[in-house]
Structure 1
Amino acid sequence: MSATNSVVSAFRVLEAVAEMQPVGLSELGRAVGLPKSSVQRALLTLHEVGWLRPTSTQPTRWSLTYRAFSVGSQARDHQFFRETAMPFLNDLQLTTTETIHLTALDGRELVLIERLDTSHPLRAFLPLGSRIPLHASASGLAFLAASGEGFLADCLTGRLAPRTDQTITDPDTLRETIEKVRRRGYSVNPEGLSKGITAIGAAIVDAQGEPIGSVSVSGPSIRIAPETFETFGKAVRETVQRIHAAL
């Protein structure tokens, strides 16, 4: 295996551990599609340089160390983006009393970079760093609605994997949904990402009008019901406008 291939394999293993931790060798091999010997080498190398830690029990399972957090927190653009947005996210939570998510684009997915938790015992929950599909989430639908045709067409090419039985996976239906989002300025995603959870989102755009992230309000569908959609939608839309002005 060449040095380049080894590095690529190590990153694939690292990302798979981040999504599946704690995870064992066999599961990782199936997830990344590499021989066990290659996965084992990558695990040992990542452990040696301080990125992964094994359990002390058998069979061995692997998890990230805090080095990943330390390096990730140095992403300056996202740090500035988050710090600028925080006062407005706090205001949004006071208005809605539900969980607030701030996401930023990474490739063809959104990454959760901030979460403000509600005090309600029954609530939506996604770990920080979660990767969120564009077509299956309120944040993603809002982002797609603010995107140009080239990006949108690229995202709708290929299979759109369902996350629940309510996920929109038909490209034509998704385009119709995106047009509705554009007209009203916010998205509504009833249980498309997580069963029992409804979210309402809006995209944050930069000075050139390009989307750079999204804000969403998420909570149990028994609380975020149709009668709240317009009120919460307007609140989210106003929040992203305020963030845009501050940026």
Structure 2
Amino acid sequence: MTAATNSVVSAIRVLEAVGERQPVGLSELARAVGLPKSTVQRTLLTLAEVGWCRADEAARWRLTYRAFAVGNQARDAGELRGRALPVLHELQLATGETIHLAAPDGPELVLVERLDTAHSLRAFLPLGHRIPLNASATGQAFLAACTDDVVDTYLAGGALPARTAATVTDPDALRGRLAGIRARGWSVNPEGLSDGIAAVGAAILGADGRPAGALSVSGPTVRMTEDVFDDHGRAAADAARRISRELGAPG
């Protein structure tokens, strides 16, 4: 890499680290990105000059709303969110629970939309949250819609992350879970991503027939019980099919 390329890469790494840890101090940032404190400080000052970061009175750094504005434009780069929203609203009204819409980004999904339930006790993930494929209803549904080669590559990537004691981390167990999803048409994930939260999910296909994202119906385990898994799962799968058709998926 050239010096200029290295500077750009460093700036992006610092920017992402601020977003993940904000508010965050210089020393913690330097450890997180593996760069000298002097380099990170120069990068932060440059990002502040162009309006992407700011420091508070305690010298802890945060992203500015400029980062939000640019990131928000990326939420629907592939038209997934815009096509899905009307159907997601119907799904939220039908189930009464929180609806999540996630899109792929490397070996994870990123939450691009959330429709909240009116219940005070509810599932909550912030927009932009990165979701492990093995640990979530959306991720498992997404993987189940992938080819076996894609699943094999994912499982060969190292240890599967555990979010809770109920997260599926054994590759053989995950393959069994994916086979069940393919037969059923939707995923069921009790407390795999967050303690006390259960979810059902379904994959959304794009015009090329490959998964373009996934949606889920999530709620606390006091309401999301085995008695409602099938009803909510069918509703999620039907919503995913409708959105897939909107995206031009074959069949």
Q: C-alpha displacement at 1:112, in angstroms?
A: 0.8
Q: Deviations over 1:126-166 (max 9, x none)?
A: 11111111111110000000011222112112111211111
Q: C-alpha displacement at 1:213, in angstroms?
A: 0.3
Structure 2: runs of 5+ lacking an equivalent: none
Contact 1:73–1:79 (Cα < 8 Å) also in 2 = no
Partners of 2:52 and 2:176 in 1: CA distance:
43
Partners of 2:37 and 2:14 in 1: CA distance:
11
What is residue 186 of structure 2 aligned with on the other side? 186
Q: C-alpha displacement at 1:76, in angstroms?
A: 7.5
Contact 2:189–2:200 (Cα < 8 Å) also in 1 = yes
Contact 2:75–2:81 (Cα < 8 Å) also in 1 = no
Q: What percent identity do the matched residue pairs reach?
A: 61
Partners of 1:119 and 1:132 in 2: CA distance:
24
What is residue 84 of structure 1 aligned with on the other side? 83
Moved more, 190-199 or 75-84: 75-84
Q: C-alpha displacement at 1:30, in angstroms?
A: 2.2
Partners of 2:37 and 2:95 in 1: CA distance:
48
Q: Deviations over 1:42-79 (max 9, x none)?
A: 21121111111111x22x11111111121123238536
So what's the TM-score if we normalise by structure 2? Answer: 0.93
- Amino acid paired to 1:234: R
Aligned pair in 2 of structure 1 residues 47, 133: CA closer, same or farther (>3 Å)?
same
So what's the TM-score if we normalise by structure 1? Answer: 0.95
What is residue 119 of structure 2 aligned with on the other side? 120
How many residues end up aligned between the 2 structures? 245
What is residue 146 of structure 1 aligned with on the other side? 145
CA RMSD of aligned residues (A): 1.4
Structure 1: runs of 5+ lacking an equivalent: none
Q: C-alpha displacement at 1:232, in angstroms?
A: 0.5
Moved more, 62-71 or 119-128: 62-71
* Structural mapping, 1:167-246, within 5 Å: 167-246=167-246
